Structure formats: structure tokens, C-alpha cells
Structure 1
Amino acid sequence: MGGRRRPRRRRGRAPGGARRGGRSPSDHGGAFVSDVVAADPFAGIVGQTDAIAVLRAALAVPVHAYLLVGPPGSGRRAAARAFAGELLAADAVAAGDIDAADRHRRLARLEAHPDLEVVEREGASIDAEQARSIVRSAMRSPMEGRRKVLILTEFHLAGAVAPMLLKTIEEPPAGVVFVVLADVLAPDLATIASRCVVVRFAPLTPAVVAAALVADGVDAAVARVAAEASAGDLGRAAVLATDPALAARADWWSSLPRRLDGTGHTVVALVGDLLAALDDAVAPLLARQQAELADLAEREQQYGLKAGSRRTVDARHKREVRRFRRDELRFGLGLLARTLRDELTVLGGPAGAPVDAHRARARLAAIDAVHRTAVALDRNPNERLQLERLLLAVGPTG
């Protein structure tokens, strides 16, 4: 890799429209980010004061492994990239070589540094072959400096192969640092967690997400709706903030019981409308993914990337679309459940008034059906079939 060209500096807007020094949605998920390095490498990560304080302190005397635990969209991956950049830039900083340090940080942000490897699952989880590849990679010497960083993503899904990686994570070669990312601290990861410094990332509240969007120039009212629909995922919120139909979809779900008339024909028509709206909702995400692929192609020419990068990104994109659709449906189901609970409250009437027990039981059953559908979405069911069953169970108001 000694023949790599020195990366040229780019000014202004990053590919895909990220503002100078600002965030793109993938700062909290994928690798599509601005290549401009902020004065504070952790500046773009919001709502994680405690976690970032731990990582800053760790830079003084780094250890062999860190486990960053928190929900999707909480900033773990962006923090991991920034942390890796500081580790890889440390020697240049000590030598006073500002340009070299800036290059290390920039390449780490782009996940294009030769001494940074980001491992993403290609199937349902990290498999045995990937685990063996991680071990081999850890054993190879760094290419440019004294350190090498391996970021292992979605490690909460790696329980089956975790024992294969335990020894390497516990006692890696000198200079190798593991940064492991997980949504939750699963029981089968307890042993590996005990060998790592655990850094917890808190779920982002709607207020924090909305404030971050407003800081990036999003209208306050739009930011509020997008934040409510994002489930604490800043990346998802940024995509939703570009969707002019978000408020209309929210109103559609809230008013759904009034649209039902007890007939299968109406249910089929409503589900068709919903799925069409869901396809439209995914469009901004697909556009950002296309921009990321264009950016990846440019970086392949400019920096050179490891074999399989395109395949890995394609696999991640498919997972992102599935998760976006699932989260969009969960958001709508939450609004529907709220409407049904409001109807149930009205059925109760004032204190001492008679209650329509039959209608109350029907609404309780409908709320239960909504919750069961939300759980079923985790199993990647047939969306149309699940939604048709749900709307038949909910039935009309009145």
C-alpha cells in the first residue's frame, strides 16, 4: 500500500449534501460522511456527554478493547470512527505533524484508513469465516504506524462465534485495539464484555433529536414530527425530515379506525394505500444510499478500499431498508394504538356512567392485536398479510 496517493483536501459540501463540519444521517450508522475533520473529532455526536467523556479519557492511556453499547442511531459508530482516528493520529500529533494527523483522522472518518478495519455482517450475523478473518487481520502488522484498529459492528448478533474471538480480543498483538459495537449487552457476550472497557450510549430523546435537526437547519415543526417518528435514531430522523409526506402518514394512522367499515374490500384498499406510502417513505433513504455508493466509488479510486467493500455496503443497505420499513410501521402502529386507547377512555365516560362493555372489550382486543403485529414485524413477516389481519381485527369505530 506504499503507493497510495496522499488524499487531496476537499472543501465545501461533502458528497450527498452533508454540510461542512456537520452530520449526515450515516454518521450514526453507515460510512457516508463528510471528509472534513472538525476541530473536535467528537463534535458531531449529540446527547452522549458521558460516553464521549469516557472515550476522551481513554485516549490518554488506551487499552486493548472497548465495547460501545447502545441503540441504533445513538452515535456509537460515529464515536468509534472518531476514537479510531485519534488513536491512529496519536504518533503524528506527538511529532507535531498536523497534516499527517489530519490525514489519519480524515481517513478514519471515511473508514478508508489502511490500519482501520470495519467488520460488518453479510448474513444474519458475523459467521465463523468472518471470525477467522478477524483473527487473521488482527495478527497482521499495521501498515502505516504502530497501531491498528478493528471495529466490529452489530456484535450483539455474534454470540455463536464470540468464543472464537475471545482470545484475540482479550490478548491482541501489541498495537491492536478492538472497538466492539453492540445494541445490547447480551448474556452470551458477558465474557467478552469483561475483557473490554464498556462505554454505554444512552437512547436519544425526541427533544435531543429535534434539537440536533434544528441545528442542522430543519424547520422546528418538521424536526419535532421527525424526532417523534425516529425512535431515537438520529439517522432515521434526518431522513424523515426530508420527507414532506411524514405528517400526512401520521394523520393517516391516527384516523385509521374511522376509515374502516368492517368489509374486507376496504381493508385491502387501505393496506394497498399504506404500502404505497411506505414505498414512498423509503425513497429518501434509497437516494442517500445511491449517493453513498457514488461516494464509495470515488473513494475506491482515490484511497483504495479493501476487497468486498461494495458487497458489504450493499448488504448493509438492504438491512437499512428493512429496518426503516419496520420502524416506519412501528411508528404508525404506535399512533394507531394511541387512537384506540383514546377511544377506550371515551367509552369509559364520566365517573358513575354506564360503560359499553362490548365495545370496550372490542377496543381492548384491537389494542392487543396492534401490539402482536408490532412484535411480529421483528420476524420479517409478509407486511400485506399482517396488516390486513390487523385491520380486520381492529374493525370500525362505533
Structure 2
Amino acid sequence: MAVLVLSSLNSIVEEALVLKGEDVDVVVPNKLLDSRRRRNPEMRFHGISRWNGYAELEALANRIPNINQVFTVEEQTVRAAGFLRDLLGLSGQSHRDALAMTDKHLMKERARSHGIPTAGHVVARSVEDVRDAGDELGWPLVVKPRSGMGTMNTFKVNDHNDLERLYREGAFTTGIPDPTGRLSASEGLVDGLFSYKFGFMVEQFIDVVEEYFCDMVWHDGELLMAVPCRYLTPLIGNIGKLYGVTVLPEGAEEFRRVRELAVAAARALNVQSGYVHCELMLDSRGDLYFGEAGNRPGGREILALSSKVHDWDPMEVLGCLAMGIRPDISSERTYEILASAVPQAPAGRIVAMSDRDELLSIPEVVDVVLKTEVGVVHGGSHNSADGVAYIFFTPQSLETSNKEIEEIGAAFRVDVEPA
């Protein structure tokens, strides 16, 4: 079997396939081609300048022989994967469904047509459009890319004056740093909100009191796993702050509500195979809304978190999904409740930080993954995916978990100096 993987910085899928002894070709942004070849000389790499360059994708498909499967877990490559499947006559998510999964406007229109509750929204192309949308939808608003990742280029706008201030300060036109080059083939993603060719989203602001997500694994339309979780705080205001997640116990009312709405949204989006990460929000009236979904595992530590809860090997499951094989995931839980704390660090050179053994000595902690080390120049927190450590622990209860996340996060020590 020959599998074509669309990738950039995240090499987990191709590494999973190599472990299974499979033949793999990998398409990466041109900017990363040399470094990826040096890092993984056993793989065949192909460069691309733009993930939405369909003539370039067609040329790649003609150049790579005997492709049986196309797979990705990176949000900016989902459309390209759908296009290639259609072009090659392969099973899996179509280009049409990939568009609905990656364009938040199309996604919410499809969800609403299936009775899924979402915030009201319009597509805008200018600051004048945002002003008009505020008068139509009501203030405050959220503005965000139609296609993006994490909380990049996402802003809460309180009123006319706040809109003018953000515009004056260049918030909508300032680019996002991309030191790794992973976004270099993604149109507009690092160039600021107003650079998007097809406009951006303006949404009603939901008075969020809790934000949830559900990570799911699907195979040929069959749901194999669903892990509903609660964020420590809503993501839109969390950049640069301690981040954390709690897996909801199966007996909790939130577990049932979050799981049911997430599964309904995934079915409305015609999910076939692979991971789905679905975001949901609870407002002050107790109403639960579908936020958005992605054909990928949750970012940061979420893949490790869900695999620990159900005791499965992410590499084995990813390898099976990439090959079109149904993975074996137990419905039994190893942990009824599990949580994570992800501390952040300011920009600068790291001169001191807690070590793994120090953190593992905390009684509730079950695992620690350090994401950096002393001497590294850390870029700071620019979106919800940044973090310097993943600390997994067993909280006493759902009610006490947020407080425990804060306590364990505070136990992590990191000191930086100007780079």
C-alpha cells in the first residue's frame, strides 16, 4: 500500500506509517523540504508552494505513482487532501466536505441546516462591514478567519470605539510570527485578518461560561471513540495564560450534552474517517452551542490525553487510519477523570525551569512532557497552541479540577532573560 501524507511540521502520521512498515510519500511546504529530508531520510518528500494550488497538486498526483490513500491531521492541508482523493478516485472525505470542514462560514451554514445551534454570523471584508455587522447582530462581536487554526487572528470587539481602536493599532493587519515555516504554504494565515481573499467571519459574541470540546475517532462513518472535555477557561481570552483541560466523567450531565452535540455536528459535516476535534460553548443561560470542528486531533496535549483515558497507542491508531484500516480502540476507560496543566512562558531565552522528576513527585501527577529546555529561545505565546510543558494528573473531582490545574500549573517554574 502507498500512502500520501500531507504534512508540514507535524510528522506523526508518516512516522506511524514507517513503524508499520508502509510505503509513504510526504508533501510538505517548500520552505521545510530540506529540513524534513534531513530529519527523515527514510521517507520520500515532495515540496509544495501553496496548499490551495490545485494545478500544483494535480502535477504532484501525476508524478507520484500508485497512491492508495491520502491522509492528513493538519488543518491547513485538509482541503488539499479532499481534492486529491476526488482527483484519484479514492475513498474518504471529498473536496466538498473538506471545504465545509475548513471554511467556518460553510461549516456553520451546514450545521444550522441540520438544526445544530450556532452563533449568528456574517462574512465581512472590511472594517465598515464589521461596523454594519455589529449594528445588525448586536455588540460585542467576535471576528476571526474563515479558515485558520487555534486562535490566530481572532478578536473580541466590544463596540464601535473598540473596533476603531483595534483598527488604528493594526490588530487586523499585523501578521503572526511563523518561525518554523509550518504555515508558509497556507494562504493568508500569517498575514493578518484582513488579508483573507474571501473575507473573514463576524460572529455574535456568546457569553461563554464554559468552553468544551470533544475529540472523536471515526472510521467509514462509524464513531469509534468520543472523549468530551472542558477547558480551564474559554480560549479566546486565554492567550499567554495557563491552559488546562479536564476529561469529563461519564456520569456527568455535561458529558452527555457535549458528546451528543459534537456527534450530531460531525454527522452533519459528513465525517467519514479520521480524527475530529469539535469545540462547543455553554452560555450564561445554560444553552450549548456548536463552535467549530476540525479534521484533526486536538492541539497541544489533547491527543496524549485522550489516548491515556482509553489506553491506546496514538501511533498505532494513526497508522491504521492513514491506511484505511479500522483501529481497535477500547470503550473502557483507564481513568474516569484526567486533567492536564499547560504552563506558558514569556518570550526570551530560558535560563531555568522545573525538571520532569520534580513535577512527577507531585502525588496526583501521572506523566510529564517537557516541550522546551534550558538555553532555548522561546517565542512567547501567540495562540492557544503554545505551551512549555504538558503535565497530566488525576484531579479529585470535576468540581475541584480547575483549582487543581491552577495549583499544578503554578508549581512549574520557568525563568527567561532577553534573547
Tell me if TM exceeds 0.5: no
Q: Please state which structure has a larger fraction of its residues in helix.
A: 1
**Structure whose alpha-carbon radius of gyration is higher:** 1
Q: Larger % of strand: which?
A: 2
Query: Higher relative contact order at CA 8 Å, sep ≥6: structure 1 or structure 2?
Result: 1
Give the TM-score, by structure 1 length: 0.30
